[in-house]
Amino acid sequence: MPAGFPDFRLGSVLATSFTATLTERRGDAVERIPTPQRLADWLAVSGLAVDSCTPAQLDLARALRESIHAAATAAATQEKLPASAVRIINERSSEGRAAAVLTPAGERRWRIGSVEDALGVIAADAIGILAGERDGRLALCASPTCQAAFFDTSQSRTRRWCDMNTCGNRQKKARFIANQRKKP
């Protein structure tokens, strides 16, 4: 990744990985796609490479990201999905013209012509998750500064952290230090 930018947090679920391009939402927020080029970089590492990205497309992407996060948060807390979030997710899904293609190796790849096409793929992934079409559950990170929405596919469906290597370790370290201070 280019110097000066925070690393991407990539998970196995496209839509929630996309919402993780803004982290520490309840603390000192970390914007991982601050420029159009960074959005293009994220799309490329996510299998949705585009030739270019404009500031207007970055605005569309951020609006989709926040809509997915709002809808996923509502679903995780068993609240009604926000109508404005649903509208934006549906708009991005219907405006994209990406095509799934099969490679000779038997893998699915996306034929993407624009950022809008890539956003359509992300929105469609979010729709599948929010509609309950995938095996798992939406949850919120237990870190009080993070609160990221993530898709829990663990066997017990009791995962607490968006990422064990960041939020989970941070919380375990804080508990360890607090326990060490209590000892005589």
DSSP single-letter state for residue 26: T
For residue 34, being part of any structural domain is answered with: yes
- Residue 157 domain flag: no
| Inside any domain, residue 152 | no
Domain count across the chain = 1
Q: Does 4 fall in a domain?
A: no
- Report how far residue 139's alpha carbon sits from residue 134's, in angstroms, rounded to the nearest whole number: 14
Is 145 within a domain? no
Backbone angles phi, psi at 111, to 5 degrees: -95, 110
Element (H, E) at 91: helix 83-95
In a domain, 147, yes or no: no
What is the span of the domain harbouring residue 106? Answer: 14-135
- Rounded-to-integer distance, Cα 88 and Cα 20, Å: 18
Q: Going residue by residue through the chain, which has 184 residues, state the pLDDT in tens, using 9 for 90 and above.
A: 455 665 777 777 899 999 999 988 887 888 999 999 999 999 999 999 999 999 999 999 999 999 999 999 999 999 999 999 999 999 999 999 999 999 999 999 999 999 999 999 999 999 999 999 988 889 888 888 888 888 888 777 777 777 756 675 666 666 656 666 777 6
